[in-house]
C-alpha cells in the first residue's frame, strides 16, 4: 500500500513539468495590471501568487482542490460515531487533490499519533510565560521553540539537493501538525484551568484527541474537526497564508514560517476577529442584562460601534462578496445543536441587522458575515468561554493548509519572494502630477 508521501511524490513528479513549461515557454504572458490604488491599497486583488490547494471565488467562497466545503465534508472518511470527517483526511486531500479511503486516512492518523509528543523544553517555555499573556503569543513562541527539531535545517546544513527540499519539509510539517493540538490544549489548561492537564490518547484522531485534552464531551470532537477543516485554507493572499509563504520563501523552516503566520493571524482584522465578535457580543449582553435586544436596540448597538470609528467584527471581507460558506456551515451546525443558546440568538440577530446597516453606512464592499461571526458562538456553547483562546483554534486549522502549501512551494521550487517598492515621488510622476 502506498503511503501519503509516496502518493505525493508521484503527484509532484507530474506537476513539476507543468510549472516548468509555463515558466520557460510562457513566462512573458501578462496576467494582470497594477493600479496606484492597488499599490497603496495593500495589493488588493493583484494576481501574483500561485496555489493549487484552494481557490476563493468572491461569490461562491472557498473550494479546496476544486471541491466546495460541503463536498469535502461529504467525501472525506469519518471516524466511527462521528458526523464530521477526519482532519487527517483533509490534510491528505489538500496535499494530493484526492479523497483518501479509510485505510489511507488511518495511515495519516497513525503518523500523527507517532509524532505527537512535545519535547519538555517547549512546555518549559510555555510555563515561563506570565498567565496574563495572550495565548497567540505563547502559541507562536512554542512553535518557534521547536525550530531546533527541524529535519530540513539539519539536512540543509549537510548539503541537501534542491529537488529533495520538499521531503525534509514534509517531515517537519507532519512533526509540527501532530503537536499543535497538544501545545494548544496545554496553553489552554495553563491559562484557564490552573494547569490541570489531560493527556492525549494515541488511539484517537486529531479532533477527538483535542476534545479529550480540552476535557470536553461529545460532540466537541466533531466541533473540533469541523473547526479545523473549515479554517485550514483560504487561498494564498490572506495575511496568514501569505506570511507563511513569504517567510518560507527564504528557506526558513516550517517552524519559523508557521510561527510567523500565527503572528499575522493574531491581528483583529484577520483571525483575532473571532475573539472580537465574542467580546462585542458580551458587551451587548452585559448592557442588556442578558436579555435579547429588540431589532431596533441591536441596530443602535451596531451604529454606536460604527459611529465611534470601529469596525463590526465578523463582517466584511477582502475578497468575498457574499455570505461566507464557512459561516453558513457553522450556522447550520448551531441550528442543529444549539438553537436555543442565547448567544446563538444574539449572533443570529446580528446576521439580520448588520448587512443592511453596513450597506447604508456605505463603506464596506462586503456587508455579509465571515467565518469569525459564528465560530466563537459554538465554542462558547461547549464551555470554551475564554475567547482570547479562539484564534489559537483558528491557528491549528490554518497551519494544516499552510503546511500543505509550503511543502508544494518547495516541491515546485518557488523562489524567494521579492516584489518591488516605489516612492511617493515616483507614483506622482507615474500619475502625471509632477
Is 135 an interacting residue with respect to ligand CMX (CB under 6 A)?
no
How buried is residue 417: exposed, middle or buried, by Cβ count under 10 Å (0-12/13-18/19+)?
middle
Work out whether strand 61-64 and strand 67-68 pair parallel, antiparallel, or are unpaired: antiparallel
Is 355 an interacting residue with respect to ligand CMX (CB under 6 A)?
no
Exactly one of 135, 316, 355, 395 binds ligand CMX (CB under 6 A); that residue is 316
Is 337 annotated in the active site?
no
Is 372 an interacting residue with respect to ligand CMX (CB under 6 A)?
yes
Q: How far is the CB of 377 from ligand CMX (least distance, A)?
A: 14
Is 315 an interacting residue with respect to ligand CMX (CB under 6 A)?
yes
Nearer to ligand CMX, 57 or 83 (CB): 57
Is 291 an interacting residue with respect to ligand CMX (CB under 6 A)?
no
Cβ pair 374, 334 in contact under 8 A: yes
Q: What is the 3-state secondary structure (H, E, C) of 51-82?
A: CCCEEEECCCEEEECCEEHHHHHHHCCCCCCC
Taking residue 358's Cβ as centre, other Cβ atoms within 10 Å add up to 21
Cβ pair 197, 212 in contact under 8 A: no
Site for ligand CMX in 240-269 (CB under 6 A): 269
Is 314 an interacting residue with respect to ligand CMX (CB under 6 A)?
yes
Binding track over 185-224 against ligand CMX, x by CB under 6 A: ----------------------------------------
How buried is residue 129: exposed, middle or buried, by Cβ count under 10 Å (0-12/13-18/19+)?
middle
Given the residues 205, 221, 348, 372, select the one marked as catalytic. 372
Q: What is the DSSP string of 222-235?
A: HHHHHHHHHTS---
Exactly one of 63, 227, 245, 317 binds ligand CMX (CB under 6 A); that residue is 317
Q: How far is the CB of 172 from ligand CMX (least distance, A)?
A: 25
Exactly one of 364, 396, 400, 402 binds ligand CMX (CB under 6 A); that residue is 364
Query: Distance (Å, rounded) from C-alpha 120 to C-alpha 183?
Result: 11
Residue with smallest beta-carbon separation from ligand CMX:
316
Contacts 24+ apart (CB under 8 A), 298-302: 298/349, 298/350, 298/353, 299/353, 299/357, 302/350, 302/353, 302/354, 302/357
Cell representation of residue 151: 529535519
Exactly one of 125, 318, 338, 412 binds ligand CMX (CB under 6 A); that residue is 318
The torsion angles phi and psi of 289, rounded to 5 degrees, stand at 55, 40
Is 363 an interacting residue with respect to ligand CMX (CB under 6 A)?
yes
Name the 3-class secondary structure at 117: coil
Nearer to ligand CMX, 126 or 371 (CB): 371
Is 395 an interacting residue with respect to ligand CMX (CB under 6 A)?
no
Is 140 an interacting residue with respect to ligand CMX (CB under 6 A)?
no
Binding track over 320-339 against ligand CMX, x by CB under 6 A: --------------------
Given the residues 227, 234, 317, 381, select the one marked as catalytic. 317
Query: Distance (Å, rounded) from C-alpha 177 to C-alpha 378?
Result: 23
Exactly one of 311, 338, 412, 427 binds ligand CMX (CB under 6 A); that residue is 311
Q: Cβ neighbours of residue 347 under 8 Å, at least 6 residues apart?
A: 277, 281, 334, 373, 374, 377
Is 270 an interacting residue with respect to ligand CMX (CB under 6 A)?
yes
**Binding region for ligand CMX (CB under 6 A):** 238, 269-271, 273, 306, 311-318, 363-366, 370-372
Catalytic amino acids? 270, 317, 372
Amino acid at each position: 500500500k502506498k503511503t501519503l508521501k509516496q502518493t505525493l511524490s508521484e503527484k509532484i513528479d507530474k506537476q513539476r513539468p507543468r510549472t516548468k513549461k509555463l515558466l520557460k515557454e510562457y513566462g512573458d504572458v501578462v496576467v494582470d495590471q497594477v493600479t496606484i490604488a492597488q499599490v497603496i491599497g495593500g495589493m488588493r486583488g493583484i494576481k501574483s501568487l500561485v496555489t493549487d490547494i484552494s481557490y476563493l471565488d468572491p461569490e461562491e467562497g472557498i473550494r479546496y482542490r476544486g471541491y466546495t466545503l460541503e463536498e469535502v465534508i461529504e467525501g472525506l472518511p469519518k471516524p466511527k460515531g462521528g458526523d464530521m470527517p477526519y482532519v487527517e483526511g483533509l490534510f491528505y486531500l489538500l496535499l494530493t487533490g484526492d479523497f483518501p479511503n479509510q485505510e489511507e486516512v488511518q495511515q495519516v492518523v497513525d503518523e500523527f499519533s507517532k509524532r505527537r509528543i512535545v519535547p519538555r523544553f517547549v512546555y518549559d517555555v510555555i510555563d515561563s510565560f506570565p498567565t496574563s499573556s495572550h495565548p497567540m503569543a505563547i502559541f507562536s513562541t512554542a512553535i518557534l521553540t521547536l525550530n531546533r527539531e527541524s529535519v530540513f535545517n539539519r539536512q540543509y546544513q549537510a548539503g541537501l539537493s534542491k529537488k529533495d527540499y520538499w521531503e525534509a519539509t514534509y517531515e517537519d510539517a507532519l512533526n509540527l501538525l501532530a503537536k499543535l493540538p497538544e501545545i494548544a490544549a496545554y496553553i489552554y489548561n495553563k491559562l484557564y484551568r490552573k494547569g490541570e492537564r489531560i493527556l492525549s490518547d494515541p488511539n484517537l484522531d486529531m479532533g477527538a484527541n483535542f476534545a479529550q485534552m480540552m476535557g470536553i464531551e461529545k460532540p466537541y470532537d466533531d466541533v473540533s474537526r469541523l473547526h479545523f477543516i473549515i479554517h485550514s485554507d483560504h487561498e494564498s493572499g490572506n495575511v496568514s497564508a501569505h506570511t507563511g509563504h513569504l517567510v518560507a520563501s527564504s528557506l526558513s523552516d516550517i517552524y519559523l514560517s508557521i510561527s510567523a503566520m500565527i503572528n499575522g493571524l493574531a491581528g483583529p482584522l484577520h483571525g483575532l476577529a473571532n475573539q472580537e465578535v465574542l467580546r462585542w457580543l458580551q458587551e451587548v449582553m452585559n448592557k442588556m442584562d442578558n436579555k435579547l435586544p429588540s431589532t431596533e436596540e441591536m441596530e443602535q448597538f451596531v451604529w454606536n460601534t460604527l459611529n465611534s470609528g470601529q469596525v463590526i467584527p465578523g463582517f466584511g471581507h477582502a475578497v468575498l462578496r457574499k455570505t461566507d460558506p464557512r459561516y453558513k456551515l457553522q450556522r447550520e451546525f448551531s441550528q442543529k445543536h444549539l438553537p436555543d443558546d442565547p448567544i446563538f440568538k444574539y449572533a443570529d440577530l446580528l446576521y439580520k441587522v448588520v448587512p443592511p446597516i453596513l450597506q447604508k453606512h456605505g463603506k464596506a464592499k462586503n456587508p455579509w458575515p465571515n467565518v469569525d461571526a459564528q465560530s466563537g458562538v459554538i465554542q462558547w456553547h461547549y464551555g470554551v468561554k475564554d475567547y482570547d483562546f479562539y484564534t489559537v483554534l483558528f491557528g491549528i486549522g490554518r497551519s494544516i493548509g499552510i503546511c500543505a502549501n509550503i511543502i508544494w512551494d518547495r516541491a515546485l521550487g518557488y523562489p524567494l519572494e521579492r516584489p518591488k517598492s516605489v516612492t511617493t515621488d515616483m507614483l506622482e510622476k507615474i500619475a502625471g502630477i509632477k
